[in-house]
């Protein structure tokens, strides 16, 4: 790959991203993967070490005469995260290497308002401050993930009422010296999967699609650029005007085909059961797989509706699903 002119910030980001994804690396393979000479890499590693972001541990390399210093992110750096969802505000403290030291959840009221969500943030941040004080933990950064944040067509946040400027001010009062970053929750999910999934299938630009109660996407580009990850609205794009009815009132939106409620209905299971299955959502029950594939494996239909009708519906949705999913792999 030809060497592109890069800023110091981009080079540092490339090294830190590589260490986050790999969990640690010897210098020669690290230099190769971030496209730097070993001398240039040495200079940058020296700075990163002085800033307390990385550490180098003596460890024999798996080959004779190889390097002996394993470079990894510094395990003593503590980061806090807050994740806002429809039910909870979760708060946690962890390290750069992925271990979790503390986690707590504060429930949201059934009908959240800007005021009540603000109070929940204050409660969660008080828990965080108390815990870090008791343990004498110094936070390096706080990340806050909010659903729907940064969508161009939205004013405020209609998914969960939440005044970001108010939360930012609260963080400024309670954690004055700590850097705070807000991000869209789908971007946070996408970043997590990209950095933590072994053999993540894409390295170039791609669309990450998150399927939950709704459907949303994140445009994923080179992670060392500032605007690399952009939330994308696609849940209510219409893929077939004669499709199933969506909760927004239109017919044939992506959500009506592929959201959690739509998949649960298609597979003939309840939403909580589908959620409980996690990533094995169709894997353990041949009947369910068969339903999803639009073929009947079970001699006795356990489903309440007419089987032929259900299969036709499954097949027609599959055709639409493929249409919806096709651009994602490009």
Which range in 81-89, 153-161, 250-258, 264-272 contacts Zn ion by CB under 5 A?
250-258
Q: By CB under 5 A, is residue 246 in contact with Zn ion?
A: yes
Cβ proximity of 216 and 210 under 8 Å: yes
Q: What is the DSSP track for 208-257? A: EEEESSSEEEEEE--TTSTT-EEEEE-TT-BS-TTSPBPTTS-BSBHHHH
Q: By CB under 5 A, name the one of 253, 266, 267, 314 that touches Zn ion.
A: 253
Consecutive H or E run containing 188: helix 185-196
Q: How far is the CB of 26 from Zn ion (least distance, A)?
A: 50
CB of 83 to Zn ion, least distance (A): 25
Measured in degrees and rounded to the nearest 5, phi and psi for residue 182 equal -105, 140
Minimum gap (Å) between residue 186 Cβ and Zn ion:
17
How near is the Cβ of 247 to Zn ion at its closest, in Å?
6
Establish if 251 lies at the interface with Zn ion (CB under 5 A): no
Q: Is 187 exposed, middle or buried (0-12, 13-18, 19+ CB in 10 A)?
A: buried
Stretch of 59-67, 96-104, 241-249, 297-305 contacting Zn ion, by CB under 5 A: 241-249
* Angle at CA of residue 64, ends 60 and 67, nearest 5°: 50
41 makes contact with Zn ion (CB under 5 A) = no
Are 164 and 150 within 8 A, CB to CB? no
- Binding residue count for Zn ion, defined by CB under 5 A: 5
Residue among 105, 119, 129, 236 that touches Zn ion (CB under 5 A): 236
Residues near Zn ion, by CB under 5 A: 236, 246, 248, 250, 253
């Amino acid at each position: 790959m030809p060497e592109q002119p890069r800023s110091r910030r981009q080079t540092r980001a490339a090294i830190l991203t590589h260490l986050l994804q790999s969990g640690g690396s010897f210098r020669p393979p690290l230099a190769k993967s971030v496209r730097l000479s070993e001398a240039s890499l040495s200079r940058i590693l020296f700075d990163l070490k002085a800033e307390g972001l990385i550490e180098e541990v003596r460890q024999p390399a798996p080959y004779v005469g190889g390097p002996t210093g394993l470079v990894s992110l510094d395990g003593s750096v503590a980061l806090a995260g807050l994740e806002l969802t429809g039910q909870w505000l979760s708060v946690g403290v962890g390290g750069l290497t992925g271990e979790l030291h503390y986690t707590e959840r504060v429930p949201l009221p059934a009908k959240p308002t800007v005021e009540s969500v603000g109070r929940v943030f204050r409660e969660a941040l008080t828990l965080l401050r108390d815990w870090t004080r008791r343990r004498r933990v110094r936070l390096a950064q706080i990340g806050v993930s909010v659903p729907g944040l940064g969508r161009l067509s939205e004013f405020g946040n209609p998914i969960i009422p939440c005044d970001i400027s108010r939360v930012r001010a609260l963080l400024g009062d309670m954690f004055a010296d700590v850097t705070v970053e807000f991000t869209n929750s789908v971007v946070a999910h996408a970043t997590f999967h990209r950095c933590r999934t072994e053999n993540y299938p894409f390295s170039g630009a791609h669309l990450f699609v998150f399927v939950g109660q709704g459907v949303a996407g994140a445009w994923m580009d080179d992670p060392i650029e500032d605007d690399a990850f952009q939330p994308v609205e696609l849940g209510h794009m219409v893929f077939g005007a004669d499709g199933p009815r969506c909760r927004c009132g239109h017919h044939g939106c992506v959500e009506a085909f592929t959201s959690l409620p739509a998949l649960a209905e298609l597979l003939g299971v309840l939403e909580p059961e589908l959620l409980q299955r996690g990533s094995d959502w169709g894997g353990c029950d041949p009947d369910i797989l068969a339903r999803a594939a639009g073929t009947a494996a079970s001699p006795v239909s356990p489903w309440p509706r007419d089987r032929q009708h259900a299969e036709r519906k499954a097949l027609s949705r599959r055709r639409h699903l493929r249409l919806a999913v096709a651009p994602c792999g490009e």
